[in-house]
Amino acid sequence: MIRLLRYLRPHWKAAILAPLLMVLEVVMDLLQPALMASIIDHGVMAGDFAHIGRTGLIMITVALIGIIGGVGCTIYSSIAAQRFGADLRHDLFQHVQTFSFKNLDDLKTGSLITRLTNDIVQIQMMVQMLLRIFVRSPLLAVGSIVMAVIISPKLAGILAVSVPLLFIVMFMIIRLALPMFTKVQQRLDRVNTVLQENLAGMRVSKAFVRADYEKKRFGRANTDYTQTAVRAQRLVAVNMPILMLILNVSIIIVLLMGGKDVIGGSFEVGSLVAFINYVTQVLFSMSSVAMLLVRLSSAKVSADRVLEVMNTQSEIRPPAKPVKVAAGDMGRVEFQSVSFSYGSSSELVLQDVSFTVEHGQKVAIIGATGAGKSSLVGLIPRLYDATSGAVLVGGVDVREHDLYELRRQIGIVLQETILFSGTIRDNIRFGKPEAAEEEVIAAAKAAQAHDFITALPNGYDTQLGQRGVNLSGGQKQRIAIARALILKPAILILDDSTSALDMGTESRLQQALAELMRGRTTIMIAQRISSVMDADTILVMDQGRIAASGTHAELLASNRIYQEIYESQLGKEEARYG
């Protein structure tokens, strides 16, 4: 928690003004019971109405000054806390952007959303309370104890019993509450994960008539979260009844002992009233501190969760001294005995993979689902690092490249098409925001997207819904391909990115790519034989290994796996139409 308070440094003026103004309010509040005692003892009891009037005006003035201090503290503490939260949220989001795919696999999306929103709000509220209540309550408690001792050292002995008793209660509540608040945030993670999955897959849920199942799944997560939160708050709620019990018992004892002294003439009525006020302020201030510490327990859980993300470092580390590779040499890709798994305890997805793609070649990768094709191409731009072996681009291990420069030279169209809210134009130039209109149109034409885009009412200014929901699968794929082509990359990776295109559109796309990528390297994963027949080399993958490589004709003549794929897709039709 202390580490996160550094985010207050840029806003130090507001962070200092807030407690100073609160000190002003506390001083004014401490004066009120003493002034009231003066009115009772020297005004009411003595029948001095002039004293009552003068002291009353002083009390009003003191109250107004206290209001200025309180309002000022609220304003500046809010400014400091809100800016603190904004800076922390910005840095946390920026840090998440550095994560590798493995980090994102480990830290679930729902959990990251909770940490970026709810957890930071909890910490932000805690900061505001620290600047207000944590200043007000301890000062008011200490000041009230001092004033109570000044009025009556004998009666102040009552506080020597009630205050430690309250401390013991506070300690026990906090000790029990801390693990419960940890569980609350974990349950909230689960709620957000289920919610995020359900909203993203709403169409699938409706298509398979699984709405009731999803309602029950969310209901279980929501109920679990609610019950855990209720148990935590129930424990916190015990604080107030115990406080009131201790407060009322203390006041009764003060009235018994102080009333006896008043009757005996050794103690004034106004002083007794003032003393009771100070006792009340002490105990309520201690209760506020207790509530603050409970909140601090909750905020500590949130701070630990935020720091867990902050402390998570991507294993995709940039090299200390990156090797510079000329852009013209970036087209050569080489795998040297590469093996890969998604975790230390996971099975190898790739096993001893070796091959070379020369500059300007078109290489296709084909194989059954789960053969390791997507995992293989993900190693080229360092979305993951190889478990063993080396991946070389331009003759240099990708781990020795400057990560930014490496990825700038690689255009990749992932298997899952992701578009962002905004215009079609913005999505196409996502990787090159400065791209001119001519470049956008040229990339769209090459991706066979220009015609359908211009047919839309707003053309390239058409606003896309969430994840491009107002486009078909094939249209989204073509925009994603245009997004990669506009980079004019040295290496273009197409991860099964034409699966939603019809044969005619795909054929025109392949022709355009052949022209646009002349002298550049293209690596494409495909399921259809027709998509890879013209490749310079075809790699056939099977269970994480390269089972065979060669041209279409060579593989058709020699490799059984390729022959089976060919037969299943084209063999029967060729036999039919001979």
Of 392-396, 519-523, 559-563, where does the model show the most confidence?
392-396
Confidence of residue 573 (pLDDT cuts 50, 70, 90): very low
Segment 243-263 mean pLDDT: 82
Tell me the C-alpha to C-alpha distance, in Å, between residue 251 and each of 39, 256, 276, 287. 21, 9, 7, 16
Q: Is the pTM of this model over 0.75?
A: no
Largest CA distance in the chain: 123
**Lowest mean pLDDT segment, chosen from 127-141, 259-273, 418-432:** 259-273
Q: How far apart are the first and last CA of the chain?
A: 75
Q: What is the mean pLDDT of residues 510-525?
A: 82
Cα distance between residue 517 and residue 484, in whole Å? 12
Condensed to tens digits (0 to 9), the pLDDT of residues 285-299 reads 877 777 777 777 778
Contact 18, 76 (CB under 8 A): yes
Q: Is 90 exceeded by the pLDDT of residue 419?
A: no
Quote the percentage of the chain above a pLDDT of 90. 18
Gap between the Cα atoms of 319 and 402, Å rounded: 7
pLDDT at residue 433 greater than cutoff 80: yes
Q: What are 38-88's pLDDT values in tens digits?
A: 888 888 887 888 888 898 899 999 999 999 999 999 999 999 999 999 999
Identify the pLDDT of residue 84: 94
Cα angle: 420, vertex 421, 422; to 5 degrees: 110
> Please, what are the domains in the chain?
3-185+228-311 (1.20.1560.10), 322-409+521-578 (3.40.50.300)
Q: What is the pLDDT of residue 578?
A: 40
Distance from C-alpha of 14 to C-alpha of 195, rounded to nearest angstrom: 38
Comparing 233-247, 324-338, 433-447, the range with the smallest average pLDDT is 233-247
Query: What is the percent of the chain where pLDDT is above 70?
Result: 96
- Asked if pLDDT for residue 468 goes beyond 80, the answer is no
Reported confidence tier of residue 284, pLDDT bands at 50, 70, 90: confident
Question: Which tens digit of pLDDT belongs to each residue from 390-418?
Answer: 999 988 999 999 988 888 888 888 878 88
Average pLDDT score over residue span 490-497:
86
**pLDDT at 456 > cutoff 70:** yes
Is 428 in contact with 482 (CB distance < 8 Å)? yes
Question: In this predicted structure, what is the pLDDT of residue 170?
Answer: 76
∠ CA 420-212-201, rounded to 5°: 15
Report pLDDT for 575: 37
Tell me the per-residue pLDDT of 26-37, one tens digit each, with 9 for 90 and over.
999 888 888 888
Contacts (Cβ under 8 Å, ≥6 apart) of 238: 173
Determine the pLDDT at residue 16.
Answer: 92
